[in-house]
Structure 1
């Protein structure tokens, strides 16, 4: 995180700025109409609902404070033996500096400190990079659930730390989880990036290994990437497949940047830092 941005507990006086930066974040990163964004803002981020949550012992609310104003907001809840990361938003002008990463790590650490057995995260299906962001912290998608903001029904993707159990039966006031497919054949990814046509069931790598593309798409500059697996059940991860050109010649560096050697398509995690659950 930048040296001039520090994390602290959210306070009542932060509400107006939190709403402002969340609106900017959603406008930049969500595939929602202005009316859809306004519905969520009124239900979740007006002063009254924010103030109530700031005072709620079951809520963990943190802000990232820059030299002149707040640049990020994160929120998690604790209910029983489970913690849930609900929101991470960063001012679009301050993305790429690690603010989102710091907020997510602080939230998960805070709920861990409360003795929960499991930490989960949810992302709206209408965001543009939330899934890829959460997966960077070794969370895996386990299902979907529906929730309502006023009368607007919205789908959320549910993630749980890899190796944790019990996430498939996620239920709560916001809705029930549904089983997620192990592979996306076509359509729109959690990042909002469309895949043209159906994924092939199997492709051959340069060395002749047969692999099976599938899983949640990962946003790329020219087209999405998906993981490849050595088995048809897609349980043994092998590498990555570029949907832009159909190549398996995709490398990942130590910073988890993906690059296709054939067409130059790239995925750079820092571009998606803190955007947004």
Structure 2
């Protein structure tokens, strides 16, 4: 078994693994039709080719000869945080340590690229996925609601700080036009220009204020009824997430 960077020649293998893994993991929770539609749209030729060519996206595959049996899809745009969007192992190859091996190589590659923390997100309904992150040094830092085909589901947020640092260290007091805020740098939303981070009125994160725009250091942000975050000062906008990329 070899872990390596994915190429365009791996597209069929990636799709095959994604189809089988998504069905095995999410069909009961989300429904087979939703899972099938998501897999078809996420891993269609054009989108997958664009992702493989994107310098901010990292695809690693674990292959048995020419056969892809697992892959990870991560994003790192030069900001401090990298995000593991997906880590899929074909159901026929699970429980052999391949997921752990792929995770370790993914973390190493992201850290080498300059990330000082790594994020993971898992639907609450995915018990195995939640246990996987918890067993490998990821701290659960919160949760939020995601819309999947018109239904709300809870997604758990995880963060790992390479070198054993604590996620608690990622809360920073920031002076803003609305007064002092405590910005949670482990609660990130991707933006079109730079990330958005959750801002709280107190250090223990009990009173949420809104979002802090990393592009212009402004707290003057808003969220519409569809969950789209927008910075009123610089025009930074929240980018689609891995779930709503199929259903916007």
TM range (shorter): 0.5 to 0.7
Shift of 1:145: 3.2
Contact 1:145-1:178 within 8 A present in 2 as well: no
**RMSD across aligned C-alpha pairs, in angstroms?**
2.7
- State which drifts further: 133-142 or 12-21: 12-21
Structure having the larger proportion of residues in helix = 2
Gaps of 5+ in 1: 180-277
Structure 1 position 27 matched with structure 2 position 45 = no
CA contact (8 A) 1:90 1:99 kept: yes
Give distance in 1, aligned partners of 2:199 and 2:95.
33
Which runs of structure 2 are paired with 1:7-86 in the superposition (5 Å)? 7-30=3-26, 31-67=29-65, 69-79=67-77, 80-86=79-85
Superposed counterparts of 1:1-277, under 5 Å: 5-30=1-26, 31-67=29-65, 69-79=67-77, 80-147=79-146, 154-161=153-160, 163-164=166-167, 165=170, 166-172=184-190
Distance (whole Å) between structure 2 residues aligned to residue 142 and residue 27 of structure 1: 27
| Residues 55-102 of structure 1: per-residue CA shift (max 9 Å, x gap) | 111111001111351110111110311111111111111112111111
Q: Give deviations 1:133-158, integer Å, cap 9, x for gaps.
A: 01111101111234556767654321
Change (3 A) 1:153 1:58: farther
- Alignment: residue pair count: 175
Task: For residue 108 of structure 1, report the CA deviation from its aligned partner.
Answer: 1.1
**Distance in 1 between the 2:137 and 2:15 partners?**
29
Q: 1:44 to 1:11 in 2, by over 3 A?
A: same
Structure 1 CA distance for aligned equivalents of residues 15 and 150 of structure 2: 20
The residue matched to 1:18 in structure 2 has which SS? helix
Higher relative contact order (CA 8 A, sep 6+): 1
Looking at structure 1, the residues matched to 139 and 106 of structure 2 have their Cα atoms a distance apart, in angstroms, of: 17
**Deviations 1:91-121, CA, capped at 9 Å, x for gaps:** 1111121111111111111111111222111
Identify if the C-alpha distance between structure 1 residues 126 and 19 changes in structure 2 by more than 3 Å, giving closer, same or farther. Answer: farther
Structure 1 SS opposite 2:30 = coil
Structure 2, unaligned stretches of length 5 or more? 171-183, 201-248
Greater shift, 163-172 or 136-145, is seen at 163-172
Compute the TM-score of the two structures, normalised by the length of structure 2: 0.63
Alpha carbons of structure 1 residues 85 and 73: separation in structure 2 relative to 1, 3 Å: same
Q: Secondary structure at the match of 1:102?
A: helix
